[in-house]
Structure 1
Amino acid sequence: MADELKRRLVHASGSGLVALYLLAQYLEFGLTWEYFRYLMVVLSVVVVALEFVRLRVGLEWWLYDKLTREYEQDQFAGYGYYMLSMTAVVLVFQPAIALPAMLMLAIGDPISGAVSDDSLKRVKGPKVLVTMFVVSAALAAPFLLEYPLAVLAAALGSTIADGVKVQVGEFIVDDNLTIPIYAAVAAWIVLEFAPV
């Protein structure tokens, strides 16, 4: 349980990337969206390199034991998918879409995990789904205040990504990969095609 709490806190720490960007904007520090994209790419490259070293060279840090789950010991870990998905939405979308999508992963996912019974159901229970939807909508609202349909779409996208397991053959797609992508794509579709 203690390790699970540590994992959730580390998960939530990803919101610091969003805070960094927003604070830089507020202070007119010069961290443009373009530079933020470069930062995210660099962080993703570092994570992929760490995973390569861990899986191919056999580097075993105590941190890996604490922050990875047992099934991740011999495969690409969830934190790698986490960084790659955040980077993907930052590269493809503008801040109003990408930043809340990042927060849905960093904050929404650990909160929904806290109310989950940790069972391996294909579709999570109503309490988890409603929690994820409400938290995601609350995270998206400040960024998309003028577009309530986009807020709802992003929240629905993240809820589906978090609440419905996708399996391709023997591989279960990690929700760390899908939450920001589903949320961002759903919001973008509404902003592009729905009547305002």
Structure 2
Amino acid sequence: MADELKRRLVHASGAGLVALYLLADHFEVGLTWQYFRYLMIVLSFGVIGLEILRLRVGLEWWLYEKLTREYEQDQFAGYGYYMVSMTAVVLVFQPAIALPAMLMLAIGDPISGAVSDDSLRRVKGPTVLVTMFVVSAALATPFLFHSPLAIVAAALGATIADGVKLQFGEFIVDDNLTIPIYAATLSFLALEFAPV
């Protein structure tokens, strides 16, 4: 239980990346969206490098023991998918779409995990789904307030990614990969193609 709480806190710390970008102008750091994209690419390559060292070379830090789950011991860990998916949405979408999608992963996912019963069902229970939707909608609102449909679309994307297990053969797709991508893609589609 203590390790699970640590994992959730580390998960939530990703919101610091969003805060860094949003506060950069206030503190006159000069972190433009393009520079933020470069930063995310560097962080992703760093994480991928750490995972290669862990899986291929056998690098075993105490941190891995505390923050990775048992099933991740011999495969690419969730924190790697986390950084890759956040970077993907930052590279593809503009801030109003990418930033809330990042927050849905950083904040929404650990909150939904806290109300989950950790069962291995294909579709999570209604409490988890509703919690993820409400939290995601709340996170999207400050960025997409001009389009309620985009807010709903983003929250729906995050909820589907978090709540429905996607599996190909034996491989289960980690929701750390899908939450930002589904949320950003559906909000983009709502903004682009829905009637105003």
Q: What band does the TM-score fall into relative to the shorter chain?
A: over 0.9
- The one-letter amino acid of 2:158's match is S
What residue number does 1:97 align with? 97
Could you tell me how far 1:25 is from its partner in structure 2? 2.5
Deviation at 1:29, TM superposition (A): 2.2
Quote the Cα distance in structure 1 between the aligned partners of 2:99 and 2:137.
13
Q: Deviations over 1:91-129 (max 9, x none)?
A: 000000000000000000000000000000000000000
Write out aligned runs for 1:1-196 (5 A): 1-196=1-196
For 1:28 and 1:157, locate their aligned partners in 2 and report how far apart those are by CA, in whole Å.
34
CA–CA distance in 2 between the matches of 1:63 and 1:72? 13
In 2, distance between residues paired with 1:28 and 1:10?
A: 27
Q: Deviations over 1:122-149 (max 9, x none)?
A: 0000000000000000000000010110
**What SS class does the counterpart of residue 172 from structure 2 fall into?**
strand
Deviations 1:78-103 (CA, angstroms, capped at 9, x unpaired): 00000000000000000000000000
Deviation at 1:28, TM superposition (A): 3.4
Extract unaligned runs of 5+ from structure 2: none
Task: Kindly provide the amino acid, as one letter, of the partner of residue 24 in structure 2.
Answer: A
What root-mean-square deviation, in Å, do the aligned CA atoms of Structure 1 and Structure 2 show? 0.5
**SS of alignment partner, residue 16 of structure 1:** helix
Distance in 1, matches of 2:50 and 2:177, equals 18
Deviation for aligned residue 1:195: 0.8
1:27, CA displacement in angstroms?
3.0
- Distance (Å, rounded) in 2 between the aligned partners of 1:47 and 1:176: 14
Q: How many residue pairs get matched?
A: 196
Could you list the per-position Cα deviations for residues 138-183 of structure 1 after superposition, in whole angstroms to 9, with x for gaps in the alignment? 0000000101100000000000000000001110000000000000
Q: TM-score, normalised by structure 2?
A: 0.99
Q: Distance in 1 between matches of 2:145 and 2:21?
A: 19
Matched to 1:127, the amino acid is T
Question: Among the aligned pairs, what percent are the same residue?
Answer: 84
Q: 1:43 Cα shift?
A: 0.1
Give me the whole-angstrom Cα distance separating, in 2, the residues matched to 1:26 and 1:157: 31
- How far residue 65 of structure 1 moved from its aligned partner, in angstroms, is 0.1
CA distance in 2, matches of 1:116, 1:103: 19
5+ unaligned residues in a row in structure 1: which ranges? none
The aligned amino acid for 1:58 is G
- Shift, 1:40, TM fit: 0.1
Please tell me the residue identity of whatever aligns with 2:84. Answer: L
